[in-house]
Amino acid sequence: MLQIVSVDREHYLDFVETQPYRNFMQYPSWADLKTEWKWISEFLGWMTGEGKMVGGAVVLYRKVPGLNKFLAYIPRGPMIDWFSSYPLKDWFHPLFHHLKKRNVFTVKMDPPLVSKKWSAERIVQSIQDFKSHGLKHRRLTDIQPNQIFNAVEYVKQELAEIGWKRNGGKDSFDTVQPQFVFRLNMKGKSMEQIFSSFNPVWQNRIRQAESEGIQVYLGTENDLPDFHDLLTLAAKREQSHVRDISYFEKMFETLILENPYRIRLYLAQKNKRLLSAALAVRVDGHTWDLYNARRSDSLEDPSAYLLRWKMIQDAYRNGDRIFDFRGISTTLDEHSQLYELLKFKMGFGGEACQFMGEWDYPVVPMLHWAFDMYMKKR
């Protein structure tokens, strides 16, 4: 039988560093960042009868106003062996028991498992096919995937049998974490092969940026105000929301404290004028393009292309094999800003990946139902 226990920071960090599905949201530093915004964190370990830790999770708790009850959230986790000889109920029943003792009435997770993949080439070809047949309002999910991972489909089935409920939104960004992301897998490739896989137009814009004297360099926390100004400018243009600069200052502080290479700020400038910027987060083997913005409203701005190329080069040289462009929409409507984002990322080659989605479990069913009704009426 597996048991759940709270583990200390060092023990948990040693464990998560060995996990194949490790990601920055399951590291202690990310939990530290979230505690600044009304979350309480705990590091949990799944233990065998022999005392060996075989699973782990960062769990974030948020108190419900006026009640001694909590929401629990496991971002991009837990870090367990999803395909082990243990049935999934043996992993989760101890978790539910532990959460009840913590006065949790509902728990949310978005497991780190990819269920489907589409290559950039297949997406581009399918869009052309849709056009030739006059088909409108198509989505990524209307395209046959290059890969479907049946083992992950079985995990979904097992979770449903346990009592987990899938929280499916209409699009990728309707959940806490994007369900669809775009990734460049660099494993087994040379830098030359990676660059040659880019769309020729993208290659030319990278060369154009270099010929125009645009330079990309690493910034420090002192450059965060300029970075945030660019984020604010882009948010106004896109009519979206941007976090306060204090969030990014705290992110720098907490992530660098855990590992000096955990976070990097990339800045592209010409004649000392900032043109585009991006905040990258990495763990061993994987780099994410977490936040980014450009000054120009033109998608042809060459600085954004050179910036990503420099980020990809750094990730490759650091031994990372996945460069993650993060969230994409499923819309293939060429008049949508969200499609333009997908198009930009596809130009670097790579593949669209669908995670198995966001799942909720009612630890205390009646309270879970009442809270769900309340949130729907807001």
Residues 59 and 104 in one domain: yes
The parent domain of residue 160 ranges over 114-355
Evaluate if residue 52 carries a pLDDT over 70.
yes
pLDDT per residue as tens digits for the range 320-346? 999 999 999 999 998 888 899 999 999
Residues 204 and 296 in one domain: yes
Whether the Cβ atoms of residue 98 and residue 62 lie closer than 8 Å to each other: no
Residues 67 and 142 in one domain: no
Cis peptide bond N-terminal to 78, omega within 30: yes
pLDDT per residue as tens digits for the range 98-146? 999 999 999 999 999 999 999 999 999 999 999 999 999 999 999 999 9
Rounded to 5 degrees, what angle do the CA atoms 256, 259, 261 make?
80
Residues 95 and 166 in one domain: no
Q: Transcribe 308-376 into DSSP letters.
A: HHHHHHHHHHTT--EEEEEE--SB--TTSHHHHHHHHHHTT--EEEEE---EEE-SSHHHHHHHHHHHH
Evaluate if residue 213 carries a pLDDT over 90.
yes
Burial class (CB in 10 A: 0-12, 13-18, 19+), 210: middle
Contacting residues for 357 by C-beta, under 8 A, at least 6 apart: 110, 156, 166, 167, 168, 175, 179
Residue 94 maps to which CATH number? 3.40.630.30
Residues 129 and 200 in one domain: yes
Contacting residues for 111 by C-beta, under 8 A, at least 6 apart: 76, 77, 78, 82, 155, 355, 356, 359
Cα 322 to chain centroid, rounded: 12
**124 φ/ψ angles, rounded to the nearest 5 degrees:** -60, -45
Q: Transcribe 181-215 into DSSP letters.
A: EEEEE-TT--HHHHHHTS-HHHHHHHHHHHHTT-E
Cα 76 to chain centroid, rounded: 8
Q: Which amino acid is at 175?
A: T
User: What six digits make up the tokens of 17?
Assistant: 């560093």
Evaluate if residue 300 carries a pLDDT over 90.
no
Residues 132 and 106 in one domain: no
Alpha carbons 308 and 290: distance in angstroms, whole number: 12
**pLDDT at 375 (0 to 100):** 61
Compute the mean pLDDT over every residue in the chain, rounded to the nearest whole number: 94
Helix residue spans in the chain (DSSP H): 9-16, 28-35, 88-101, 120-132, 150-162, 191-196, 200-211, 224-238, 245-258, 302-317, 337-346, 365-377
- CA dihedral (283, 289, 290, 293) in degrees, to 10, reads 150
Whether the Cβ atoms of residue 75 and residue 111 lie closer than 8 Å to each other: no
Alpha carbons 46 and 90: distance in angstroms, whole number: 10
Residues 89 and 179 in one domain: no
Evaluate if residue 378 carries a pLDDT over 60.
no
Residues 50 and 119 in one domain: no
Task: Quote the number of domains for the chain.
Answer: 2
Q: Which amino acid is at 230?
A: L
Entry pTM: 0.95
Residues 228 and 327 in one domain: yes
Rounded to 5 degrees, what angle do the CA atoms 34, 40, 42 make?
105
pLDDT tier at 170, thresholds 50, 70, 90: confident
Tell me the torsion sign for CA atoms 160, 88, 41, 183: negative
Evaluate if residue 363 carries a pLDDT over 60.
yes
pLDDT per residue as tens digits for the range 301-323? 999 999 999 999 999 999 999 99
pLDDT per residue as tens digits for the range 277-298? 999 999 999 999 999 999 998 8
How many other β-carbons are positioned within 10 Å of the β-carbon of residue 374?
10
Cα 374 to chain centroid, rounded: 28
Alpha carbons 53 and 45: distance in angstroms, whole number: 6
Alpha carbons 43 and 199: distance in angstroms, whole number: 43
Residues 171 and 83 in one domain: no
Residues 162 and 308 in one domain: yes
Burial class (CB in 10 A: 0-12, 13-18, 19+), 182: buried
Residues 227 and 314 in one domain: yes
pLDDT per residue as tens digits for the range 233-289? 998 988 888 999 999 999 999 999 999 999 999 999 999 999 999 999 999 999 999
Alpha carbons 299 and 274: distance in angstroms, whole number: 16
